[in-house]
Structure 1
Amino acid sequence: MTGGKEREDKMDLYYLCDSKKESVRSFILIILCIAGSFSCLAQGSTGNNFYSDFLSDLRNNNLSKGRIEIVTPAQLDTLVNYVCYQTSLQQKQGFPGYRIRIFSDGSQSARQKMFAEKARFLKHFEQYDVYISYVAPYWKIYVGDFLTRSEALKAYEAIKKVYPYAFIVNDFVKISD
């Protein structure tokens, strides 16, 4: 009886060690993904090839005298490069969101009117950022950086009292820290 009990304990220990190996492998894979993502963030718009270049240098032994063999699944390379690409796009363009357009005019005196409207807006609503756009022949003023439509609607309710022709538009917005 005692021999059977010891054998069961050894088998349990074997399976426990085997499951620990799998969890360690999973943990290492997650750490590699996170490290790759952070390296993309640190590199900014030039980070797209950092991960690939780093692995290529290591595989070609350009950085060391010893032999290093790194085996990564192709899906991991694809995933990390995709995250780098998305991060650099968001840093360039901003995030999808909403702004409120309060002014649009294409007349010859539109530029002067636009600057007057900008000053008038800032007197009433200094908490919002103001963005000027010129696409010939129209001068436009957009205000705010709203991630959700509900945020934009709250601001719109206050703004439309002063600017009744204002409306909400989709745009890429800045996110302040």
Structure 2
Amino acid sequence: MAKKFSIITFIFFFGVSLHSFAQENEDWRLYKPGKTTNRQDSLRTIRENLNIQPELGSIKMIEDSRITQLNERKKEYPTKMDGYRVQIYFGDRSAAQEKRGAFVRSNPELGAYLSYLAPNFRLRVGDFRSRLEAEKLKKEIARNFPGCYIVKDKIELPPLEVAKTEDSENPAEN
């Protein structure tokens, strides 16, 4: 049995080695590369050969109603991103609501978010992409809300401010 195995192994390796010697050693640099084609040429050739003519058509979309509902829900509850807020209070509910009212009266353009973290409520204000923006608000409100500090939080996407230039204001003059 061992003798048969060694003979079969010898024949196998002998055959593999003969096959490897059969490879030719031609220099690949002797052959010029073929004509390269681009995608547009290929598509044009296919259209010409198949006589495909562009036509107007109609598309019928069949989608599950749950997809539409999901899109609507996404609009109602927008994606939140990492950002910064200024925490101005942490304590009982009634005091948190009072401070929230005071803040909203003085800064109606900024959001004030009351959240519960057992057993206390925390009041965080603003939606800032950078810590520098949050620092500016903190300096403004520190007199009325001492002890406020900046925290990382998930924020609602604030609108981007578009800087207007003289060129963009009067495009007809250019």
Q: TM-score range by the shorter chain?
A: 0.3 to 0.5
Q: Given the two structures, how large is their TM-score scaled by the length of structure 1?
A: 0.47
* Larger helix proportion of the pair: 1
Normalising by structure 2, we get a TM-score of 0.48
